Structure 1
Amino acid sequence: MSVGDTQPVIRDLQGMTEFLAAEELQRDVWGPDDKTDPGDLMMVIQAEGGLAAGAFLGDRLIGYVFAFPTATPGVQHSHRLAVRAEARGLGLGLKLKLYQADWCLRRGIRHVRWTYDPLRLPNAALNIGRLGATAAIYHRDYYGEMGGINAGTASDRLLADWRLDGERYARCRAGASMLTAAEAAAAHRIILPADFAGLLKTDPGTAGAERLRVREEIEAAFSAGLVIVGVDTREPAYLLVRSPTDGAA
């Protein structure tokens, strides 16, 4: 069965065979040298109130999301989101996150947090531009040295805050833009490389310099009280304002 034959089904993972399939999917997406979340750990966390769900095409797992409770009631940490290369272009990243949102809201969870590499434009476009998360916290080299697709670069991360009870989330569900044209034009801009993953492979020195430039500019903006609320994908840049449109950072 090919990806184009039918629509993937998204549901919670069931049984160790599917949790082990999620391990294999991680190696496929992030590379064999990257550390994977063990299947037995995901199974136990799911049993204790976490989320482990997948997108299935027939019996094949082609995407998954993994999240767990935090010390703060009503807040979930989303640890992993992955889609196999063969299934990209189907909007599965968005569909998995919306499944996660519905899952959370049914359980009274209205705030989801996760980290992501600030230089990877597709992730930024999904997290900030489409889902409506915001960001105001920057972690330098958060995970230390990493392998797989993250090898050769500092593991800097932005903390994405996704509020499921505000105006931005309503815009997300409606497929609407997070910023008006006037708001985007007035926003402070931090330029992003158009293809950091490619740059890391072909010119590691320039990739490292871009990492440091963006780190310094984002940290300075956050220190000045600005918050990331948008992404321009045409002329790649973060868009920052003094406070988010619905008052939730």
Structure 2
Amino acid sequence: MIKELKTMEELKLVQDMEERVWEMSPIPTHQTFTSVKNGGLMLAAFVDDEIVGFSYGFPGFKNDKSYLCSHMLAVDPAYRSRKIGEKLKWRQREVVIDKGYDMILWTFDPLETRNGYLNLSKLNAVCHTYIENCYGEMSDGMNKGLPSDRFEVHWHLNSPHVTQRTKIDLEHAVPLNAVRKNEDGLPVFVGEQTCESDDVAYSLAVPKDFQELKVKSPGLALDWRLKTREKFEQLFDAGYSAVHLKVHDDHAEYIFVKKKI
């Protein structure tokens, strides 16, 4: 069951999960309560009356455009891989359309492929903006030790790309890099090809499990951060958007097409 949370008592339910998932202090309920009273949205997923996931967003405004800024999405680790995050996002879309929005914006780490697959391949959001060290130095369990680079995702709620679930040509994208394993069996960035034509799609490979790589080799994880940062920014500067994440057995690859939105 997915429910919209509106009272102070209901909003307190998400605080324990924030600490559990991110090892960080939760957002004060007086802030989330004020947000949901003024165009924001807190949704929670329940299993047998136990909260197992939530999404939180508040109103945003930029370049004469209003939207919902979707700030947090969390699923209890024991309930992952059950499409709870995806269901929360689709319900979020339904509710905010009723509130008058036609776009949701959020950020995520492009090297976290679980998030990339949900955002681009399942929801059909798009990205053409890269933010270096978006939140500065972070100390929580998932982010500490590396620059907090982020993709800024735009979910155009009523676009044909979303409503008709546009299929992307995955077979003819030109690869800009490759992944090889080093002597320790860890993924290494290989390749220096640049995008040279406006007429083709491109792909960029990333590690499949970045958190595991960070634990085993922080130096190699930083190398991936900096090298993919350069390639992502080159593609966005050339007018491309990230529109899909294709997942393989040991790595994943982003697909980029010329920006239309």
Same fold by TM-score greater than 0.5: yes
* Secondary structure of 1:236 counterpart: strand
Give yes or no for the alignment of 1:231 onto 2:245. yes
The answer for the alignment partner of 1:240 in structure 2 is: 256
- CA shift, 1:181, in A, is 4.4
* Secondary structure of 2:30 counterpart: helix
* Secondary structure of 1:178 counterpart: coil
User: For the residues of structure 2 that align with 1:73 and 1:59, how far apart are their CA atoms?
Assistant: 38
Decide whether the 8 Å contact of 1:163 with 1:169 is kept in 2: yes
User: For the residues of structure 1 that align with 2:257 and 2:25, how far apart are their CA atoms?
Assistant: 36
Give yes or no for the alignment of 1:161 onto 2:154. yes
- If the length of structure 1 is used for normalisation, what is the TM-score? 0.87
Decide whether the 8 Å contact of 1:69 with 1:75 is kept in 2: yes
- If the length of structure 2 is used for normalisation, what is the TM-score? 0.84
* Correspondence for 2:231 among 201, 217, 221: 217
Q: Which has the higher strand share?
A: 2
User: For the residues of structure 2 that align with 1:86 and 1:16, how far apart are their CA atoms?
Assistant: 26
User: Matches of residues 20-39 of structure 1 in structure 2 within 5 Å?
Assistant: 20-31=12-23, 34-39=24-29
- CA shift, 1:58, in A, is 3.0
The 10-residue stretch of structure 1 (69-78 or 125-134) with the greater mean CA deviation from structure 2? 69-78
The answer for the alignment partner of 1:107 in structure 2 is: 99
Give yes or no for the alignment of 1:10 onto 2:20. no
Cα distance, 1:45–1:238 mapped onto 2, change above 3 Å? same
* Secondary structure of 1:192 counterpart: strand
Q: Which has the higher helix share?
A: 1
The amino acid of 2:138's aligned partner reads M
Q: Which segments of 5 or more consecutive residues in structure 2 lack a partner in the other structure?
A: 175-199
The answer for the alignment partner of 1:50 in structure 2 is: 40
Cα distance, 1:48–1:213 mapped onto 2, change above 3 Å? same
Structure of higher CA gyration radius: 2
* Cα deviation code 1:181-228 (max 9, x no counterpart): 456575201111111011111111111110001101101111111111
* Correspondence for 2:217 among 200, 203, 208: 203
Decide whether the 8 Å contact of 1:178 with 1:230 is kept in 2: no
Task: Give the number of aligned pairs.
Answer: 231
User: For the residues of structure 2 that align with 1:207 and 1:114, how far apart are their CA atoms?
Assistant: 23
User: For the residues of structure 2 that align with 1:120 and 1:198, how far apart are their CA atoms?
Assistant: 11
Decide whether the 8 Å contact of 2:6 with 2:36 is kept in 1: no
* Cα deviation code 1:85-112 (max 9, x no counterpart): 1111210010000010000111221111
* Secondary structure of 1:169 counterpart: helix
The amino acid of 1:169's aligned partner reads V
* Cα deviation code 1:19-69 (max 9, x no counterpart): 1221111111112xx343222211110011100110012332110000011
* Secondary structure of 1:28 counterpart: helix
The amino acid of 1:20's aligned partner reads K
Give yes or no for the alignment of 1:119 onto 2:111. yes
Q: Which segments of 5 or more consecutive residues in structure 1 lack a partner in the other structure?
A: 1-8
Query: Which structure 1 residue ranges, 4+ long, deviate > 3 Å from structure 2?
Result: 180-186
The 10-residue stretch of structure 1 (229-238 or 47-56) with the greater mean CA deviation from structure 2? 229-238
Give the % identical residues.
30
